[in-house]
A and B are shown apart, each in its own frame.
Chain A
Amino acid sequence: MGAKTLIIDGQTVSAENHVTILQAATDNGITIPTLCHLDGVYDVGACRLCLVEVKGSTKLFSACTTRVYEGMEVTTQSERLKKYRRMTIELLFAERNHVCAVCVANGHCELQALATSLGMDHVRYDYCFPKWGMDLTHPFLGMDDNRCILCTRCVRACWHIEGAGTKNVAGRGSKSHIISDLNEPWGDSETCTSCAKCLLSCPTGALFHKGDTVGESERDRSKLGYIVNAREKQQWIV
């Protein structure tokens, strides 16, 4: 038990034991960019956008998976961090095929919003232009691997909020991709409850409602947090 006192960006804050730097920062109104973090499910530190500096180490730490300790000194904004975050976001764009102009998520996309806020005006790396397909076999949900950033938010929401365990990651490296069950067409899945929590969780246009056209994929991701809160703390939002 007990609280820890630490310094984030020169500001002395106190945080509960065992919380992450990200939580401590958020609780104190300090914003750290994130992409794979999702309120309501555990963190995996997949996207590396929340990297921060901790005094005494030359290493960078992912704020979403690093716990606070007494006397910790954290820097969330620096030229170095800016550089790495920008590189990371550019690599995410270069890795798959993002054509925002015709994307269902255009205007409601966390990846796009981050790119804008991090000042990404172009991508310095060669695009990979991989050949990924889509899975449109589900009656009303669709998956486009071209827009997936492998944040695994959908997987975690599917396993740990819905408890269905339909969504999984298959493959390694650049071949990694999200599958349903043991790589079956989504529409054939016996475990999928069609709850659409994966869609709610997805930061990009990779998961969408079939029939949506450009920019129509708006979603309220906080709903997932409410569900978890209600379940774990018996607190309902009315």
Chain B
Amino acid sequence: MSKRIVIDPVTRIEGHAKISVFVDDAGNVSGAEFHVVEFRGFEKFCEGRPYSEMPGITPRICGICPVSHLLASAKAGDAIMAVSIPPAADKLRRLMNLGQIVQSHALSFFHLSAPDFLLGWDSPPAARNVFGLIKSNADLARAGIRLRQFGQEIIEVLGGKKIHPAWAVPGGVRSALTPEGRAKIRAWLPEAYATTRVALDLFKKVLTTHERETQLYGNFPTLFMGLIAADGGWEHHGGKLRFTDSSGSIIADHIDPKDYRSVIGEAVQENSYLKSPYYKPLGNPEGIYRVGPLARLNICSHMGVPQADAELKLFKTLGHGAVTSSFLFHYARLIEILAAIEFIERACDDPELSSDELRANAGINSLHGVGASEAPRGTLFHDYTVDRDGMLKKVNLIVATGQNNLAMNQTVAQIARHFVKGDAITEPMLNRIEHGIRCYDPCLSCSTHAAGRMALHVKLIGPGGEILNEVFRD
């Protein structure tokens, strides 16, 4: 019989996530599970609504990445109409996604993660947040907050103040980039570049002193998956799916996202609403893969913009074939911010973004449509089945956080293995587990709870199910 430690940041409502750590008879950690409450309810209540409403409904799944759901949903709609959308619409959607990547990654790096490695893992949790960072490094914290504003401004310039009223729609988008919007975005560029460069330099310095973390925080072989451009370059909105292994070899390529089911299986984990997708041909658990910035950089050969390409070269030297430490998600995130800014700059010079050819029109030409887009946290799939009238019969959403679930479990297990001694649940262990999960920037209210500090509830459960130890930390 084995023992189970439950780290139980209880419900989504309270901003907790729940982690179980399994301990065998010898007292060694044999595995871990990260449980969350996810979107099943959403999938169900969309049934019976018209597919065209989905870009209005699905952004409400999550207050952190509404744009990702908006874009994937509109794309699934394109597929149901079986249209190719006007080129300007595609470019505009891409611009919005770049804005989303910048704002989301900036939040993850500056607000949520940097306090851990800049203020020290074991500095008091109450000070280890963005406010603590403001105290110790006001310039950096402020720059990070502004970088996030830049990304948000792009989203606002395109979609209006309230992003929710579906700006991207099946067939295209509703409005173009205005000259004022263009000027607004352009004005931000120098500052955005400067902040990103500062963060990159800083993180590279952190790397030299965090050898141990690089080894500890989720360093193990897995597959990596993401969208990839036709020429093997970095992709965030179009392209096809690619899987590589931890040696960097491509094991599946050019897979149309609509055929995701041929490569992705979904395991259901006990006690959790989170589905755990795996690479189907290898089965579960061998088919474990990671998505998100680390994966996107691992699968691509180049970024397609000069500054980020130079960084990608450095990044690639940190692994053999693939970069396998989840601690390097942070670095990947910064490189993606840099690439996004470079692509945004290009978009600012593209007259087509002011085109008024923005929306294709059609009826229901396919009873099934899949929309895939790279959300900041990884590939997001919206899979809709409709009847002849466009009414939704079935909805399946595969979100990034779910796809990283197996890897998060393994990361927690790896960290716990170093820290679990007997029945004790120590503060250093909590701090590191917290950060290990944060590397993936999981999209749960828990990840942003209380100004960035994760609330934890840890239970150590004995072989008979009895609670041996229990720790709450709000």
Contacts of B166 in A (CB 8 A): 213-214
Q: Does B49 sit at the interface, judged by CB under 8 A?
A: yes
Which of B50-58, B97-105, B112-120 has 4 or more CB atoms under 8 Å from chain A?
Answer: B50-58
Select one of B169, B174, B389 contacting A136, CB under 8 A. B389
Question: Measured between alpha carbons, how far is A211 from B166 in the docked complex, in Å?
Answer: 12
Contact B60 A137 (CB under 8 A): no
Q: A102-B56, A102-B57, A142-B50 are in contact. Are A210 and B390 (CB under 8 A)?
A: yes
B389-430 vs A, Cβ < 8 Å mask (1 yes, 0 no): 111000000000000000000000000000000000000000
Closest to A131 in B: B48
In the assembled complex, the CB of A131 is this many whole angstroms from the nearest CB of chain B, namely 10
Take A102-B60, A137-B389 as given contacts and tell me if A215 and B52 are in contact as well, using a CB distance cutoff of 8 Å: no
Q: What residues of chain A lie closer than 8 Å to B390, measured between beta carbons?
A: 136, 210-211
Distance between Cα atoms of A143 and B247 in the complex (Å):
55
Q: A101-B60, A102-B57, A102-B60 are known contacts. Are A211 and B389 too (CB-CB below 8 A)? A: no
What's the nearest-Cβ distance from chain A to residue B144, in Å?
31
A106 at the B interface (CB under 8 A): yes
B48 touches A134 (CB 8 A): yes
With contacts A213-B169, A214-B164, A214-B166 taken as known, whether A102 is within 8 angstroms of B53 at the C-beta atoms is: yes
Q: Is the CB of B57 within 8 A of A187?
A: no
CB distance from B325 to the nearest CB of A (A): 41
Task: Quote the shortest CB–CB distance from A212 to chain B (angstroms).
Answer: 7
| Chain A residue contacts of B56, Cβ below 8 A | 101-102, 213-214
Q: How near does chain B come to A209, taking the closest CB pair, in angstroms?
A: 9
Given contacts A134-B391, A136-B389, A210 and B60 within 8 Å (CB-CB)? no
Count: A-B pairs, CB below 8 Å: 49
Interchain CB contact (< 8 A) of B50 among A134, A215, A216 = A134
Q: Which residues of chain A in 183-227 are interfacial with respect to chain B, using CB atoms and an 8 Å cutoff?
A: 187, 210-216
CA distance A139 to B388 in the complex (A): 10
* B170-A136 in contact (CB<8A): no
A184 to B170, CA, bound (A): 29
Does B165 sit at the interface, judged by CB under 8 A?
A: yes
Give the distance to chain B from A214, nearest Cβ to Cβ, in Å. 4
A133 adjacent to chain B (CB < 8 Å): yes
For the complex, give the distance between the alpha carbons of A104 and B52 in Å.
10
Point out the residue from B48, B49, B170 that lies within 8 Å of A211, measured CB to CB: B170
Q: Find residues 33-59 in chain B having any chain A CB closer than 8 Å to their own CB.
A: 48-50, 52-53, 55-57
Instruction: Give residues 93-137 of A contacting B (CB, 8 Å).
Output: 101-102, 104, 106-107, 133-134, 136-137
A residues within 8 A CB of B165? Answer: 106-107, 213-215
Complex alpha-carbon distance, A143 and B390, angstroms = 13
Q: Mark B55-76, 1 if CB is under 8 A from A, else 0.
A: 1110010000000000000000
Name the A residues within 8 Å of B361 (CB-CB).
211
Are B49 and A134 interface neighbours, CB within 8 A? Answer: yes
Q: Mark A129-161, 1 if CB is under 8 A from B, else 0.
A: 000011011010010000000000000000000
We find that the number of chain A residues with CB closer than 8 angstroms to chain B is 19
Question: What 0/1 readout, one digit per residue, does chain B (118-140) give for beta carbons within 8 Å of chain A?
Answer: 00000000000000000000000
CB-nearest residue of chain A to B166: A213
Contact A136 B164 (CB under 8 A): no
CA distance A136 to B53 in the complex (A): 13
Given contacts A101-B60, A102-B56, A102-B60, whether A210 and B164 have CB atoms under 8 Å apart is no
Distance A215 CA – B167 CA, assembled complex (angstroms) = 10
A85 to B50, CA, bound (A): 33
The distance in angstroms between the C-alpha atoms of A211 and B60, with both chains bound, is 19
Determine how close the nearest CB of chain A comes to the CB of B318; give it in whole angstroms: 44
What count of chain B residues pass the 8 Å CB interface test?
20
Residue of B nearest to A214 (CB): B56
A234 CB to closest chain B CB, in angstroms? Answer: 37
Distance in angstroms from A210 CB to nearest chain B CB is 6
Specify which chain B residues have a CB less than 8 angstroms from the CB of A139 in the assembled complex. 363
Are A211 and B52 in contact, with the CB atoms below 8 A? yes
Q: Is the CB of B48 within 8 A of A210?
A: no
- CB-CB < 8 A to B57: which residues of A? 102
B146 to chain A, nearest CB (A): 29
Residues of B within 8 Å of A104, CB to CB, are 53
Chain A residues whose CB sits within 8 angstroms of the CB of B391 once the complex forms: 134, 136
**CB of B250 to closest CB in A, whole Å:** 38
Contact (Cβ within 8 A) B48 A133: yes
CA of A4 to CA of B309, assembled, Å: 83
Q: Which of A101, A102, A187 contacts B389 (CB 8 A)?
A: A187
* Most chain B C-beta atoms within 10 Å of own C-beta, residue among A102, A137, A215: A102
Q: Who on chain B is nearest to A132 by CB?
A: B48
Q: How far is the CB of B360 from chain A (nearest CB, A)?
A: 11
B52's contact among A106, A133, A212, by CB below 8 Å, is which?
A: A212
Q: In the complex, what's the smallest C-beta–C-beta distance from B282 to chain A, in angstroms? A: 39
Q: What's the minimum C-beta distance from A145 to chain B, rounded to whole angstroms?
A: 11
Taking CB atoms, residues of chain B closer than 8 Å to A212 are 52
B50 surroundings in chain A (CB, below 8 A): 134, 136, 142, 210
State A133–B393 Cα separation when bound (angstroms): 13
Residues in A whose Cβ lies below 8 Å from that of B48: 133-134
A215 to B165: give the CA distance in the assembly, Å. Answer: 7
Q: A137-B389, A210-B390 are in contact. Are A101 and B52 (CB under 8 A)?
A: no
Q: Which of B363-399 contact A (CB under 8 A)?
A: 363, 389-391
B residues in contact with A137, CB < 8 Å? 389
Partner of A213, one of B53, B60, B363: B53
How distant is B9 from chain A, measured CB to nearest CB, in Å?
A: 29
Q: Inside 8 A of A215's CB, which chain B residues have their CB?
A: 165
Chain A residues with Cβ below 8 Å from B60 are 101-102
B389 touches A213 (CB 8 A): no
Docked CA distance A187–B363 (Å)? 14
Identify 11 residue pairs between A and B in the complex whose beta-carbon atoms are under 8 Å apart, listed by A's number. A101-B56, A101-B164, A102-B57, A106-B165, A107-B165, A134-B50, A134-B391, A136-B389, A210-B390, A213-B52, A214-B55
A interface residues, Cβ below 8 angstroms from B = 101-102, 104, 106-107, 133-134, 136-137, 139, 142, 187, 210-216
Since A211-B52, A214-B53, A214-B164 are in contact, a sample of 4 more A-B pairs with Cβ atoms closer than 8 Å, ordered by chain A residue number, is A102-B53, A187-B389, A210-B390, A211-B361
Closest A-B pairs by Cβ, 3 of them: A214-B56, A136-B389, A213-B166
